[in-house]
Amino acid sequence: MKSGTALIYDEEMTKYKLLWVDPACKIEVPERLTVSYKALEENGLAQRCVNVPVRQATDAEILLAHSEEYLEAVKKTPHMTLEELMTFTQQYGDVYFHPNIYHCAKLAIGATLQLVDSVLTGKVRNGMALVRPPGHHSQRSAANGFCVFNNVAIAAHYAKKHHNVKRVLIVDWDVHHGQGVQYSFEDDPSVLYFSWHRYEHQDFWPKLRESDYDSVGKGKGAGFNINVPWNKVGMENSDYLSVFFHVLLPVAYEFCPDLVLVCAGFDSAIGDPEGHMCATPDIFAHLTHLLMSLAGGRLCAVLEGGYNLTSLAQSVCQTVQTLLGDPAPQPSELIGPCESALESIQCVRAAHKPYWDCLKHAEAPPISEPSTKRCKQTEGEGHGKAEDGEKEEEKEEMVVWQESPSRLVPPSRTAAVLPAEVKPLEGCDLLEPSLAPAADILQTLRNNLLEKSVDEGSLKTLYSVITLFEKMKKNEIRNGLALVPHVPVAISCAVKHAAESLTNRVLVVFVGEEDVTTYSTEEGKMLFVQISRRQSGEQKSQYKVSVCLKKSPPEDQRDVAGFMHAVLGLLLPLAYEYDPGLVLLARSPGCGVGEAAWAQLTSLLQGLAQGHTLVLLQVGEEKALRGTAASLQGDPVPSLGPLGAPPPEDVEAVERQRQRLQTSWKLLQTTAISEK
């Protein structure tokens, strides 16, 4: 089984710096790497990674994305005088050269390729390369924006050439547009490039027309370039997650990459002097987690920007800790996207509607002109906080944020409750059903389940489910799995217990047709989401959501594209905004969800509630046991294969619920209120 996280770093890459005065370049300092690596060591993360050495890139590798003339020119820089270096530098934008930068740039590519090799040969599952200089701005024949060679673009070409990789997804979460990557793959449908970036109606560096949402790729590559321009600063966690739920993830699942490369710049985090965004470092745990379900978990993160050393180090730690498989922290304060973000989301979805089945139903754009032509709005930040009018060049404001609490890793990852005749699951701790249930709890169970005649054995199993619940609450176990005699009864029972034991916010996700008695609990203590094939009556509560997907004969598998459409566009946004303390995931026999789609759902939901997921399967569903357990234990999730169009009935069903709920749950929104 492929496991392990590679970390690739070499101090040699700290050995170049700016040798003259240049305000545009002074933020790109060697300490960016040393503080990041030191933080990884101090948090015990570096020690848990597989240490892979860097190497130098060869000329042939550099030439995968650059011209011979440019390579030959850069080759001369180690021998230049200071004055010659300054002159050489001047032909490019916002970059500097140093006698040792060519050497470091070759190591930065080499580190990236070592990472790609380690992941694609199965030596590790995923990994991160901490490199300088960064790469995503550099172009075929030009250095730019602190970048000399395009590390990630070279890596994508390399993976295709040397590892039989057919489709590569590049996710650029740096706050700047990686125009170099865009240019490299503009007409190439085998590489899907996604970038969000500070844009401000083309006022923000690199101020390119082609960074707007309407640059979708060219020729055969049309649809394979996705730009999300941020037209205001101050974007928060909600804005980033909204873009993932409503733009990137649906398209990425439809694309079905064999490899995910991340241009992992952290200047998109709070406190960064370039980005001026407000997303906190823990958001990178979630962005990473969400991407880890793609491409069988083959994810390579490569450092790009990030200039606030504190924010950078925290963000790097969040990313690496997630790659290692630790549960993500509970996302803080998801209040929904701001109007400006929604406007961008709506525009991107509309621009890509012709190319992606998952966006076929996307709404018309709110405005027909691109961001550039619209009136420039300088009056405030995305979420409406007042700017103090200070000139940013003169005084860098102090930004403070709460450091995310250290991530709790329970001593046991998965505990299972299984009937005696079922073979134990590898890697799962078996919960002994021999414990004598406390009399009062048994009584409660009996009282609640009176109408069903429950035998002693079933009662004991139900009691064990409650024990799993309690163990998750106490952080003794991370997640649990139980095979129960009757799923709807077990859900009722667990919910009842949760309500009585003052458990905070339980998310119940039930895939199945049966009615589940959910005892009226205090509003909001539980969010119940059912995915069924049976039309249910009118729904009124914002805490009870039922989505009815396409009916098909019982033996048929549910349409995977329709199911994922509901998961990504409805369930995940609801779940994240609700922010549960526990997740109860259950399915009943014949629910029609294929094993791969079920594993995806199980895996995606583990980003919530610090990974506290309790899965209930019904006796008779033994064949789903091993896959579910593997997913709970963090094994790579198999990909679903490229998805086709979701059935129109499914799209409609999801849409109905989104319309009903989006005023209460703002992460469901995909459209701006009005033209501004």
| Residue 174 vs 650, nearer CB to Zn ion | 174
**How far apart are the two ends of the chain, measured CA to CA in Å?**
53
Active-site residue, 137 included: yes
Instruction: Identify what 254 binds: Zn ion, ligand Q9C, none; CB under 5 to 8 Å per kind.
Output: none
Q: CA nearest 528: which of 467, 464, 583?
A: 583
Distance between CA atoms of residues 508 and 506, nearest Å:
6
Q: How many residues bind ligand Q9C (CB under 6 A)?
A: 15
Instruction: Count the alpha carbons within 13 Å of 450 in the hemisphere toward its beta carbon.
Output: 4
Distance between CA atoms of residues 201 and 210, nearest Å:
12
Cβ distance 233 to 379 under 8 Å?
no
Neighbours of 262 (CB within 10 A): 26
Task: Give how far Cα 41 sits from Cα of 47, 146, 208, 213, Å.
Answer: 7, 26, 39, 39
Out of 236, 272, 304, 357, point to the residue binding ligand Q9C (CB under 6 A). 304
Q: Report, in Å, the least distance between residue 144 CB and ligand Q9C.
A: 8
Secondary structure of residue 661 in the 3-state scheme: helix
28 binds Zn ion (CB under 5 A): no
| Residue 296 vs 305, nearer CB to Zn ion | 305
Q: Report, in Å, the least distance between residue 267 CB and Zn ion.
A: 4
**48 token code pair:** 């848990």
* Rg value, the chain, Cα: 25
Burial of 429 (0-12, 13-18, 19+ CB in 10 A): middle
Secondary structure of residue 109 in the 3-state scheme: helix
| Residue 267 vs 559, nearer CB to ligand Q9C | 267
Q: Report, in Å, the least distance between residue 203 CB and ligand Q9C.
A: 12
296 binds ligand Q9C (CB under 6 A): no
Non-local CB neighbours of 428 within 8 Å, separated by 6+ positions: 414, 415, 416, 481, 629, 633
212 binds ligand Q9C (CB under 6 A): no
- Scanning 8-16, 142-150, 338-346, 406-414 for contacts with ligand Q9C by CB under 6 A, the matching segment is 142-150
Instruction: Identify what 559 binds: ligand Q9C, Zn ion, none; CB under 5 to 8 Å per kind.
Output: none
Q: Report, in Å, the least distance between residue 310 CB and Zn ion.
A: 17
User: What residues does 261 pair with on adjacent strands?
Assistant: 170, 300
Nearest-CB residue to Zn ion?
A: 305
| Residue 23 vs 219, nearer CB to ligand Q9C | 23
**Catalytic residue of the set 66, 98, 136, 137:** 137
- Scanning 78-86, 104-112, 174-182, 483-491 for contacts with Zn ion by CB under 5 A, the matching segment is 174-182
**286 token code pair:** 């979630």
Instruction: Identify what 145 binds: Zn ion, ligand Q9C, none; CB under 5 to 8 Å per kind.
Output: ligand Q9C
Cβ distance 166 to 96 under 8 Å?
no
Burial readout 307-326 (b: 16 or more C-beta within 10 A, e: otherwise): bbbbbbbbbbbbbbbbbbbb
- Scanning 123-131, 144-152, 523-531, 640-648 for contacts with ligand Q9C by CB under 6 A, the matching segment is 144-152
267 binds Zn ion (CB under 5 A): yes
271 binds ligand Q9C (CB under 6 A): no
Distance between CA atoms of residues 234 and 238, nearest Å:
11
267 binds ligand Q9C (CB under 6 A): yes
Task: Report the site for ligand Q9C in 51-110 (rule: CB under 6 A).
Answer: 94
Q: How many residues bind Zn ion (CB under 5 A)?
A: 5
Print the binding letters for residues 171-200 with ligand Q9C: x by CB under 6 A, - otherwise.
---x-x------------------------
User: What residues does 430 pair with on adjacent strands?
Assistant: 416
Kindly state the DSSP code that residue 269 receives in the 8-state scheme.
B
Out of 180, 229, 305, 636, point to the residue binding Zn ion (CB under 5 A). 305
275 binds ligand Q9C (CB under 6 A): no
Instruction: Count the alpha carbons within 13 Å of 415 in the hemisphere toward its beta carbon.
Output: 20
Distance between CA atoms of residues 265 and 91, nearest Å:
25
| Residue 223 vs 271, nearer CB to ligand Q9C | 271
Three-class DSSP labels, 23-39: CCCCCCCCHHHHHHHHH
Q: Report, in Å, the least distance between residue 136 CB and ligand Q9C.
A: 6
- Scanning 261-269, 287-295, 476-484, 543-551 for contacts with Zn ion by CB under 5 A, the matching segment is 261-269
Q: Report, in Å, the least distance between residue 188 CB and Zn ion.
A: 23
Nearest-CB residue to ligand Q9C?
A: 305
| Residue 134 vs 485, nearer CB to Zn ion | 134
Q: Which residues are catalytic?
A: 137
List residues binding Zn ion (CB under 5 A).
174, 176, 265, 267, 305
Contact residues: ligand Q9C, CB under 6 A: 24, 94, 134, 137, 145-147, 174, 176, 205, 265, 267, 274, 304-305
